Structure 1
Amino acid sequence: MPNARHLQPLPVPPGADALDVLPALERALDGEGPALLPVRSDDGAESRRLAEALAGPLTSGEDADEDPTALVIATSGSTGTPKGVLLTASALRASAEATHRRLGGPGHWLLAMPAHHIAGVQVLVRALLAGTRPDAVDTADGFRPDNFATAAHRVLAADGPHYTALVPTQLSRLISAGGDGLAALRKFDGVLLGGAATPPALLRRALDGGVRVTTTYGMSETAGGCVYDGQPLDIAEVRIDGGTGPVLLSGPMLARGYRHQPEAGAFVDGWFRTGDLGRWHDGRLEVLGRADDMIITGGVNVAPLPVERVLAEQPGVREACVLGVADPEWGQAVVAAIVPSDQARPPSESDLRAAVRAGLNSASAPKRFAFIPELPLRGPGKPDRRALAAFFQA
């Protein structure tokens, strides 16, 4: 390309002010403006770090006149090192249009999560393509059900389908609080739920309570969710190597690659190797968690996600996160951080172990538990396993 386009930081305000980025985002999608690197406007140090690592002229392999790179989404993935995911305008459009087809047509969107992450920015992209004005939840004091209700009522006043996207923690708060927030959530025609694994008990509570939840699986590299309720969108293909093995994804929603990494091994022959393990179960994709989160304890492989699902089903457990920590006897010990429903009356450790043994096997039963008020989170809503590992090891 004779005149290299530049990647320019796009400061994204939190909450309702995030809608201020819509004009710049629309220009990027149309190829009329620079490629954009969404960064938090309220974290100057982090924004400068990402800009120094990723901003600047795009190389010929990172852009193309016929399909310009519109966004570069910064993600640490599982390594903690910032990577820039090169998303073309066509990938973002393909993902958004496929979502509308699956949900029932273009509609009005409510932004409830940070718009510098792919799940949030795709809410804005879908609204732009639908030709509707999105609204946003005020998150100045964090995510609060009353603020969700206020913003939801504005969106629900418009004619046509109404959609929003949440992470499991937000859904849990809305259901637990009840009241106007939950009543408003029930009126949405589609509620996309992703960003982290959804506890089965939470999903049942939502569906039984009349919330039209659709679980999503995807990542920045796929322009957001591309598998809904275990079924690929009509543009996506899923491949699993072996009965249980690495999950690979393909389709027009795939990113061009990574910034400054022309030979990234995750993108090969039109497929993206996710780093997740999965299997097909009753015709649906079941994701078992990150391959690098696999725990090897006493020579036995233990996937954390199935253990978390069993624990989250037990009385008195609101949330659970399972991980492995170094152990002189077992190599790694299975440990679990539990958020009790009632902090004053946590569930019995022996009952929790017995449930895991009965539901899975003895090797999967946690050796140690920690009962904490909230799980530390990173990104849009994923448990921060590094922070929890440091907590257990301390």
Structure 2
Amino acid sequence: MVTEALAGFPRVRAADAARYRALGLWDDRALADGVEAAAARRPGASALVDGAGRLTYAELAAAVRAGLATLAGRGIGAGDGVVLVSGNTRHGVIAYHALARAGVTLVVLDRRCGEADLLVALDSLPAGAPVLLPTAEADRLAGALTGVPVVPLELFGAASAAAPSTASPTASAEPGNEPEPFPEPDRDRPAVVLFSSGTTSRPKGVVHSLNTLTAGARNMAQVTGADENTVAFLVSPLTSITGIMQLHLAADTHATLVLEDAFSPRESLARMNAVGATLLGGAPVIAERLLRAAGDAGSSPGGSSPGGGLSLRTLALGGSMLPRPLLELAMDGFGIEIARVYGSSEAPNFSGSLPADDRERRLSDDGAPLPGGEARVGSARHPGEGLLRGPCLFLGYLDPADNAAAFEDGWYRCGDQIELHDGRLTVTGRLTEIVNRNGLKISLTEVDAALAGLPGALEVASFAMPDPSTGERLAVAVQPAEGAAVTLDDAVAFLLAHGLARRKLPEQLVRWDGPLPRTASGKVVRSRLVMESPAKSSDLADRLRGT
């Protein structure tokens, strides 16, 4: 069974849970209403596209059935805890669907995770919990896998789809051809744990149920107008909240999910057009780079030529807004509808644009709280901090100490400053210390803690620098000891030796010739690090040299 920390979930108040059920926002669907129902109704429709090719809904349903058999053969079933390490491949999608149907508590990690990330994930589960991961990553993560049962992710591949697939009472199939239905799991229990970078020096385990995830995916469908004709193009990691939302969105609406495992603006643009992708959501910097590539290509709007144009019809933007010229290119040049959405790992797709919103309304705020969602301004720790409540909110963090700091009278402290006007929400800034690099959020305090003891350094502090390609990049300020020479390579090697994931590594090291700027209470003033860095000696990663 799952850990004692999970035994007390859900944290949702009984009155709120009852309201969400009464509104039809919880317990309104079964897992089999997704992939299996789509396979029965339109078996030949595209369900999934990755670098290896296309799977129809019949093929995906058959692969999920085979995945369930694989799990059962390994003794993995309801109530167990499992770690899933995956990139943006069909194997991860099939394994996720199979594990959800098996009723396990699933801890998800991106394939680029480090040993330290994997150890944190394993620590959240009982000893002996299995790890599903790509064979190619096993040697790299070997230090965290000692004594751990390992299941090759490649076992979750395409399977025969000769028989129609359904486990839904509303789906149809030829008599005698119906596969054995799986027992639907409890939709309130902890189903998925993912790790979010916050203000603490360690990742925080964010716990979701199937009900909270389905509510978030429904919100995204409402904001974007997604239906069975949608082709969603996923660049963000499959195991991020963005990836999990789009995985559920595609299954719940019987749409097509396209996985992009290695992003490159020109190549990804060509692939997006080749598959006819209609929806892109995730980090704004990804959309910006694709739009620039499409504009540079100079081909006709909405074209499917490999060199340019955009097949996209909807662009879901969260976080920072794109430059106005790019937005106008998207809307006027390519006929793309902009949908604003606000959320986080803890509150996926909490607010967003409404179908009736005109252009200026869509560009002026972060939308309205979506069905069942409530927001108010002002917490006990900050007068402008947003407090959120709703059916898409997570159940809580793994660590009770994190929950004590995150919740206030049943409301979630979101860590962002917000304003509310006429039922609309606007985010004006963030209180948390996070670098948002290409949509991947990295905790500054986690990096600071990992850099403690860096040889030759008297003081070390990480900070976010603006970056035209990635939105922000991670930089490190160092005051070297007298006579010591500290380089970016030194810091990177030190962090890797301590198990930090490569995606969390700094790309710039700035040398301070005196103490780092601090407040009277001793806290590093990161804003001054940003302002004063251009005048300092620094090392840059290869990507930044010569720019």
* Within-5 A mapping of 1:1-394: 5-13=79-87, 15=88, 17=89, 19-30=90-101, 32-56=102-126, 65=186, 67-106=188-227, 107-139=230-262, 142-156=263-277, 162-178=278-294, 179=297, 183=302, 186-194=310-318, 196-201=319-324, 202-203=326-327, 206-210=330-334, 211-222=336-347, 224-229=348-353, 230-231=366-367, 232-241=369-378, 245-261=384-400, 264-265=403-404, 266-280=406-420, 284-292=424-432, 327=517, 332=525, 334-335=527-528, 369=534
Shift of 1:105: 4.0
How many residues get paired?
A: 311
Distance verdict in 2 for CA 1:215–1:56, change over 3 Å: farther
Residues 327-366 of structure 1 deviation map (CA, whole Å, 9 limit, x = unaligned): 37999484485xxxxxxxxxxxxxxxxxxxxxxxxxxxx5
Displacement of 1:23: 2.8
Q: Using the alignment, how far apart are the partners of 1:85 and 1:320 within structure 2? A: 24
> How many Å separate the matches in 1 of 2:332 and 2:473?
24
> Deviations 1:266-313 (Å, cap 9, x if unpaired)?
13444211111122367642212222459xxxxxxxxxxxxxxxx99x
Aligned mates of 1:181, 1:373 — CA distance in 2: 42
TM superposition shift of 1:46 = 4.2
Give secondary structure in 1 for the equivalent of 2:387.
strand
Question: Partner residue of 1:353?
Answer: none
Whether the 8 Å CA contact 2:198–2:432 is kept in 1: the answer is: no
Alignment CA distance shift 1:66-1:147 (3 Å): closer
* RMSD value, Cα: 4.2
CA 1:272–1:143 in 2, change beyond 3 Å: closer, same or farther?
A: farther
Q: Distance in 2 between matches of 1:336 and 1:321?
A: 13
Q: After TM superposition, give the deviation of residue 44 of structure 1 in Å.
A: 5.0
Once residues 109 and 245 of structure 2 are traced to their aligned partners in structure 1, the CA distance between those partners, rounded to angstroms, is 15
Cα 1:155–1:42 change in 2 (3 A) is same
The Cα of 1:172 is off from its aligned counterpart by: 1.8
Alpha-carbon contact 1:110-1:137 (below 8 Å) kept: yes
SS state at 2:400 partner: coil
The 1:373/1:193 distance shift into structure 2, 3 A limit, reads farther
CA contact (8 A) 1:192 1:216 kept: yes
Tell me the amino acid that sits aligned with residue 208 of structure 2: L
Cα deviation, residue 216, structure 1: 2.0
Q: 1:221: Cα distance to partner?
A: 0.8
Q: In the alignment, what sits opposite 2:482?
A: none
* Equivalent-residue separation in structure 2 for 1:149 and 1:115 (angstroms): 21
Is contact 1:244–1:279 with CA below 8 Å preserved after alignment? Answer: no
Query: Secondary structure of the residue that 2:428 maps to in structure 1?
Result: strand
Q: CA deviation at 1:50?
A: 2.9
Distance 2:259 2:200 in 1: 31
Q: Decide whether the 8 Å contact of 1:134 with 1:155 is kept in 2.
A: no
Pair 204,248 (structure 1): closer, same or farther in 2 beyond 3 Å: farther
Normalised TM-score (structure 1) = 0.65
Distance 1:41 1:319, change over 3 A: closer
Shift in Å at residue 151 of structure 1? Answer: 3.7
Amino acid across the alignment from 1:272: Y
Distance 1:122 1:235, change over 3 A: same
How far residue 119 of structure 1 moved from its aligned partner, in angstroms, is 0.8
Query: 2:302 touches 2:312 (CA, 8 Å); kept in 1?
Result: no
Which secondary structure does the structure 1 equivalent of 2:346 belong to? helix
Query: Which residue does the alignment assign to 1:355?
Result: none
Q: Which moved more, 1:39-48 or 1:91-100?
A: 39-48
Contact 2:373–2:390 under 8 Å retained in 1: yes
Asked if the contact 1:108–1:132 (Cα under 8 Å) also holds between the matched residues in 2, the reply is: yes
Shift of 1:143: 3.2
Contact 1:321 1:336 survives alignment (8 Å): no
Cα 1:20/1:181, change in 2 over 3 Å: farther
Tell me which amino acid in the other structure corresponds to 1:237.
Answer: E
The residue type paired with residue 104 of structure 2 is P
One-letter amino acid of the counterpart of residue 220, structure 1: S
Structure 2: runs of 5+ lacking an equivalent: 2-6, 8-76, 128-184, 304-308, 354-365, 435-465, 478-515, 543-547
Equivalents in 1 of 2:258, 2:539: separation in Å?
Answer: 31
Report the secondary structure of 1:215's partner residue. strand
Aligned to 2:198, the other structure's residue is in SS state coil
CA 1:6–1:268 in structure 2 vs 1: closer, same or farther (change >3 Å)?
Answer: farther
Where do 5+ consecutive residues of structure 1 fail to align? 58-63, 157-161, 295-310, 338-365, 377-394
CA distance in 2, matches of 1:193, 1:76: 20
Task: Output the CA distance in 1 between the equivalents of 2:421 and 2:251.
Answer: 36
Residues 117-155 of structure 1: CA deviation (Å, up to 9, x unaligned):
10112111111112234111240xx43332243144214
Query: Secondary structure of 2:121's partner?
Result: helix
Kept after mapping to 2: 8 A contact 1:335/1:369: no
- Higher-Rg member (1/2): 2
Paired with 2:187 and 2:268, the residues of 1 have a C-alpha distance of: 42
- SS of corresponding position for 1:220: coil
Alpha-carbon shift at residue 207 of structure 1 (Å): 3.7
Alignment check: 8 A CA contact 1:322 1:336 kept: no
After TM superposition, the score normalised by the length of structure 2 is 0.49
1-structure distance, mates of 2:432, 2:121 = 28
Determine helix, strand or coil for the equivalent of 1:126. Answer: helix
